[in-house]
Structure 1
Amino acid sequence: MVYGEPLRLPGEFLVTNTKEVDNSVDFVRNLRRQFELLRPVEGTRHGDNKIFVFKDLATATHVFVRHDSPKTPLQMPYDGPYEVISRSEKVFILLMRGKQVPVSIDRLKPAYRINDNLRPRESDLDDDGIVIVATHQNPDPHSPPQLRRSARRVRFPDRYQAGYP
């Protein structure tokens, strides 16, 4: 609206087409022609997702299996490692809890294991089979104590003395 112009009703804002449809037969013919030109739109293919497969899965001796169910808090996303008994293009047969179970390849992830020849020596094992690892050597009792610039002796609290008496 501009100052000084006459007011218009809402219906007057739109320009009306003064050209009337002359003949209903022409209208129907034109409508049919327009509908014949309509073509369906190509649909999308949602089911053809590419599944990532590890290259090392073809040679892996052990694999992890992904959970596909809802997870509880702090639950690991993968179980395993499980031994591979046989493999085909889409399914691996795994030894899970003493049974041979077929598992789809899209749920698998190769498990990289440390060589078995890197076992600890018998002298490093205690009676229960737990590996004993020496964290620190005992300090030399003949070495002079550490001194600061002010010639004070350095003494750490007992809770920080990992294995020292």
Structure 2
Amino acid sequence: MPMLDATTDCVAYHFLASWVARFGATQVIITDQDPQFESRAWQDLMDFLEKEVISNSPAELTYGEHLRPPGQFALQPGTLALVFLPELQQAIQALRPVPPRSCQHQMPFIPHSLPDAEQVFVRRVHHTSPLQTPYDGPYPVITNSDKTVTIYKHGKSSTISANRVKPATQ
């Protein structure tokens, strides 16, 4: 039975309607300490069913204690870790974020043969499929400047950025 959401009321309803209705009430219920299992409404439901709720993590149930990061194992009294810890904390506190790199605008590559080209291919702006060519053309060049190329395309002239064209070699 799919749940509409994970609110306490919805979880409790589905628990009663699905699990308890089919299998009966269990002796112990183990939760993962999500908020819906820690709420007053859930506790009232457990009191009604006369169930004990164990709010432990799976690690606590498996190993009998909380899991600890590896660094905590070394922090036993009398170890060198206690001497090293203040130095490490000081070093971490002294760290500062690296400033962002300035935007270094690179000049786009424009082929040297573009000013003399009689025809050019025009790169498509939209995404192309893997087997589709990334360029349309060739189109005849009407005029050519440092930043733009005017071409004859579909019966009319069209001015396009020089970044989007490459010369069509004969």
Shorter-chain TM-score tier: 0.3 to 0.5
TM-score scaled by length of structure 1: 0.43
Q: Is the radius of gyration larger for structure 1 or structure 2?
A: 1
* Structure whose residues are more often strand by fraction: 2
* Structure whose residues are more often helix by fraction: 2
TM-score scaled by length of structure 2: 0.41
